[in-house]
Structure 1
Amino acid sequence: MAVTLPVAEPPELKKYSGPQRAAALLLVLGKEHGAPIWESLSVEEVKELSSAMSQLGRLPSAVVEYLLVQFSAEVSSMASLHGSHETTERLLAGIMPPDKVREIMEDIRGPSGRTMWDKLSNVGESVLAGYLKNEYPQTVAVILSKLKPDHAARVLAELPRDFGVDVVTRMLRMDTVQKDVLQEVESTLKTEFMSNLSRTQRRDPHESMADMFNAMDRATEEAMLNALEERAPESAERIRALMFTFEDLTALLPEAIAAVVKNADKKTMALALKGAPEEARRVFFGGMTERAAGMLRDDMANMGPVRARDCEEAQSQLVRLAKTLAAKGEIVLVDPKSDDAVII
């Protein structure tokens, strides 16, 4: 059954912050209905909501009713859940021993990338060369042939000179690598190299900073990032990317997706979706009319081959657009580090 939102929010609502609204909602839900939500929260989230709840005082009935109706409407319209490292780890912690959870999470976190070769491209050349110098030259030749040329060149420069020349000679004579050989090399890299690397490698400080910035209010976040851009623009851009990604856009509510589609440059949208997985495309096409979706598909087909770098930049532009719309209060961003709070 469809839920009808009040025409206007009650004036009293403005004096309640986001955490206070969430706390009010949980207070209304009570022990029986609120327990599943409390159980899914982290210790810090429980502390924050408990503190907010203790300071609520008397809640006007109009505020309570509005929060309940808004929550019901938004949850019923959500098309999907959003998974992240944090929510996965929290789930695993409830069903297996801590050491096993730690082992699994260390393995899947590793250097980012969709395939083994993507992951290797994110490993520093000195670290990778330190591992490869102990392998057979033929195996190293196979691995370097799968890396991006610029990264392979840097790795070669780190290898012992004679060993590196041997590897290059084998690469020149190498025919198409058989599928079973490639699979065996990938398997060895995963079990012997990537797994050990994820256990010993220090977490990227940009990830830690992204977590910190996610916890800030938007005004403070923007002020800090703008200041950081003046001193270290690359670091600022890296943090922005980690805070909210193109993949995170697909977890937005349908109304938010429609707003992004409406405000986006059509060429940028076509380029972004050209390099997107089919699932992400379906989400964005769902925010358009059938006619508009058909025209966009035609634009994508007529583009021909495009550089992956250009697609990624277009996707970044859509992310920046979504954050701009959120800052204006036109849409609500689903926090990529959490799957629980939707009331802001």
Structure 2
Amino acid sequence: MAEAQAPAPATQDKPSSNLTKVDQAAVLLMTLGEGDAAEVLKHMGPKEVQRIGTAMSSLTNIEQHEVEAVLSGFLDEVRTLTGLGMGADSYIRNMLVTALGEDKANGLIDRILLGGNTTGLDTLKWMEARSVADIIRNEHPQIQAIVIAYLDPDQSAEIMSYFQDKVRLDIMMRVAALDTVQPSALQELNDILEKQFSGNASSQTKAMGGYKVAAEIMNNLDSSIEADLMESIKESDEDMGNQIQDLMFVFDNLKDVDDRGIQVLLREVSSESLIVALKGSDEVLKEKIFKNMSKRAAELLRDDLEAKGPVRVSEVEAAQKEILTIARRMADAGEIMLGGGGEQMM
């Protein structure tokens, strides 16, 4: 009789997490303890700290298997790191581009690898928008434009809201016209902000501003301010206005988002906001929304749209802006991928 063969040991699948990347980072930091977590947060920017802090405060009843999955994933990431030692510049560049995208990473790469001195400007990222507006209010418009181009679009948009229409127009056109900024100009600006001169400048110019930056700032402005400002820009320079508008992500561009992204987005949007927003949309976008809902939900939405009476343009714009804000937040968190820019069709 043949000997009975011992059963092979069962393989245990590694735990996996359904949490978003931001929530995973929050769980990881919470497992480190206050002291170590604080040390990690010191190396992050204001937006990252705010996003992770919000995630920490909203996490409740995290199950043990989720914690284990986050820790397991983190250890896997650490094991694959090969950036220590040789080729550090290439590693840093690739890491930042992967983490932030090429556009956002380029400025940070310049400061890390080229030795740019931007301490004073970075300090502004931690300040309230009104305070930043007060600091730069009496500066030369070109200085104001450099600051607005340097900061994150959502913060810049809020800062712009504290200026008068004429000033907003001047600043936005200067932002769109910016290409590069000499390091001496950045040092001078830091000297203004910090009341001291420190560090040596890189010999390379700093890429800053341009139509894309202007479009991102415009995307984050309130609808009324955005519309008035765009009209003023086109009156002053129609070609510039058209190029900025072509790069803006507007509500009509949701038709370029993939089906999975639309489905994820719809879970975060209220039915009433969606109904009002779609009142100003074309049939292509409406069908895009319908096909990414259950048959029953799509039928109900069609009925609600037909039953909804006339809606003021301002209400439609406000609802669309609300949904776009959610979409951009989810895109920043890596939950969805937004499509390209284009002209809005109302």
Task: Tell me the TM-score range normalised by the shorter chain.
Answer: 0.3 to 0.5
TM-score computed with the length of structure 1 as normaliser: 0.35
Q: Which has the higher contact order (CA 8 A, sep 6+)?
A: 1
From the two aligned structures, give the one with the greater helix fraction. Answer: 1
